[in-house]
C-alpha cells in the first residue's frame, strides 16, 4: 500500500510538471527536422516502389526514427506518461529489428533462397574463407563470450531458424515485459530507472539486455554469413546505423538511470529537467543525427538501385 501511495504522489508530481521552455523549443525543432527528413525519404521510396518485398520492410525500419522522436517529445512534455511512451517506443524498436532482418532476407530473394544458400554453403567441402576471421567455408565460429557456450554452427536451415527465432524472441520478450511493466507500475513497484531489489525495473533491464544482445548477435552472424551476397545494397553501413540506433539508445537510457540513481547526474540541464525520463527524452529528441545518417545511407542505396 505504501508503494502505491508513493507511486501515486510521484505520478501526480509528474503530471503537474512542465518542462523548461528552452527544452520544449529545442526538442520541438529537432523533432520537426527529423519528421521532414523521414517523410521525404518515405515519399522517395513510395515514388520508386519497384521492389515491394524489400522496401516494405525498409519502410518499417525508417519509421522507427520519427516514432522515437515524436514519442520522446510527447513524453518530454508530459512526464507522467513516460512509462507508457517508453513501452510504445521499445515495442516499435523490436518490430523494427524484425523488419531489418526481413529486409536482408528479402534482398537475398526470400526465405527459400536464403535457406538454399545456407545449405549450399554448409555442404561445401572446400576451405575457402567465408568470414573475416578465417573460419572454414560453411562453418560459423562464434565470437566471445558466445564461443564459451556455443559450438561452431554448420550452415543449414537449422542455423537460419535459430537466427530468425533469435530476432523474433526479442519482440516476444519486449511485449511480455511491456505488459508486466504496466501491471507493476499500477502497484507502484516498477520504479522506472531505480536500481533497487524490490523494484521490477532492474530485473527487466537485465532480461531485456540479454534478449537484445542475443537478437543483435544473431543479426551480426547473419550479416557475416551473407555480406558477400548482399554487397549490392552495401549492408555494412545500414547494419552499423541500425545497430547504433538500437544499442546505443538502450545503453544511453541505462547509464542515465544509473547515474541518476547514484546522484552523479548533476548537470544544469539534468537539474532543470528534474526527471531522468525527461533527460532521456530530451537527448533522443535532439539526436536527429541518426535520422540524417539513415536518410543519407538509404538514399544512396535507393539511387544506386534505380540507376
Q: What is the pLDDT of residues 175-218, one digit of tens each?
A: 888 888 888 877 888 877 677 888 888 898 889 888 988 888 88
Domain boundaries, the chain: 2-306
Residue 9 has what pLDDT? 45
Q: Residue 115, Cβ neighbours under 10 Å: how many? A: 19
Q: Which fold has domain 2-306?
A: Rhopdopsin 7-helix transmembrane proteins (1.20.1070)
Residue 133 has what pLDDT? 43
Q: Give percent above pLDDT 90 in the chain.
A: 5
C-alpha torsion 185→188→190→194, nearest 10: 130
C-alpha torsion 144→237→205→76, nearest 10: 160
Q: What is the pLDDT of residues 28-79, one digit of tens each?
A: 888 888 888 788 778 877 887 787 888 888 888 888 888 888 888 888 888 7
Residue 276 has what pLDDT? 67
Highest mean pLDDT, choosing among 236-245, 253-262, 277-286: 277-286
Residue 130 has what pLDDT? 43
Residue 271 has what pLDDT? 55
Residue 165 has what pLDDT? 93
Residue 188 has what pLDDT? 80
Confidence of residue 5 (pLDDT cuts 50, 70, 90): very low
Q: Give percent above pLDDT 70 in the chain.
A: 72
| Residue 133 CB-density burial (10 A; 0-12 exposed, 13-18 middle, 19+ buried) | exposed
For residue 262, what is the DSSP state? T
Residue 4 has what pLDDT? 46
- Tell me the angle at which helices 52-62 and 21-47 cross, rounded to the nearest 10 degrees: 180
pTM of the model as a whole: 0.72
**Which residue in this structure is represented by grid cell 516498477?**
190
Residue 194 has what pLDDT? 76
Q: Per the structure block, which three cell numbers stand in for 82?
A: 513516460
102 or 125, higher pLDDT: 102
Residue 278 has what pLDDT? 73
**Angstrom distance (rounded) from CA 172 to CA 170:** 5
- Cis ω for the linkage preceding 145 (within 30 of 0): yes
Amino acid at each position: 500500500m505504501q508503494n502505491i501511495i508513493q507511486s501515486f504522489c510521484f505520478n501526480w508530481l509528474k503530471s503537474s510538471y512542465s518542462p523548461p521552455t528552452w527544452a520544449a523549443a529545442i526538442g520541438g525543432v529537432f523533432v520537426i527536422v527529423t519528421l521532414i527528413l523521414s517523410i521525404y525519404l518515405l515519399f522517395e521510396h513510395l515514388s520508386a516502389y519497384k521492389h515491394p518485398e524489400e522496401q516494405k520492410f525498409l519502410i518499417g525500419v525508417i519509421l522507427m526514427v520519427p516514432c522515437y522522436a515524436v514519442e520522446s517529445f510527447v513524453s518530454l512534455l508530459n512526464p507522467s506518461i513516460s512509462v507508457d511512451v517508453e513501452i510504445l517506443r521499445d515495442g516499435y524498436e523490436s518490430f523494427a529489428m524484425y523488419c531489418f532482418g526481413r529486409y536482408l532476407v528479402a534482398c537475398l530473394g526470400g526465405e527459400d533462397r536464403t535457406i538454399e544458400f545456407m545449405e549450399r554453403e554448409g555442404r561445401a567441402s572446400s576451405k575457402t574463407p567465408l568470414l573475416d576471421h578465417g573460419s572454414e567455408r560453411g562453418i560459423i565460429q562464434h565470437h566471445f563470450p558466445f564461443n564459451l557456450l556455443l559450438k561452431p554452427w554448420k550452415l543449414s536451415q537449422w542455423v537460419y531458424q535459430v537466427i530468425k527465432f533469435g530476432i523474433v524472441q526479442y519482440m516476444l520478450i519486449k511485449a511480455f515485459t511491456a505488459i508486466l511493466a504496466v501491471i507493476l507500475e499500477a502497484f507502484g513497484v516498477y520504479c522506472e530507472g531505480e536500481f533497487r531489489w524490490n523494484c521490477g525495473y532492474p530485473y527487466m533491464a537485465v532480461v531485456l539486455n540479454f534478449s537484445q544482445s542475443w537478437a543483435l548477435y544473431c543479426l551480426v552472424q547473419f550479416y557475416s554469413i551473407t555480406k558477400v551476397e548482399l554487397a549490392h545494397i552495401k549492408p555494412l553501413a545500414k547494419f552499423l546505423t541500425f545497430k547504433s540506433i538500437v544499442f546505443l539508445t538502450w545503453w544511453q537510457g541505462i547509464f542515465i538511470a544509473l547515474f541518476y540513481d547514484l546522484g552523479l547526474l548533476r548537470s544544469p540541464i539534468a537539474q532543470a529537467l528534474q526527471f531522468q525520463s525527461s533527460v532521456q527524452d530530451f537527448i533522443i529528441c535532439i539526436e536527429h543525427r541518426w535520422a540524417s545518417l539513415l536518410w543519407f545511407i538509404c538514399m544512396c542505396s535507393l539511387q544506386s538501385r534505380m540507376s
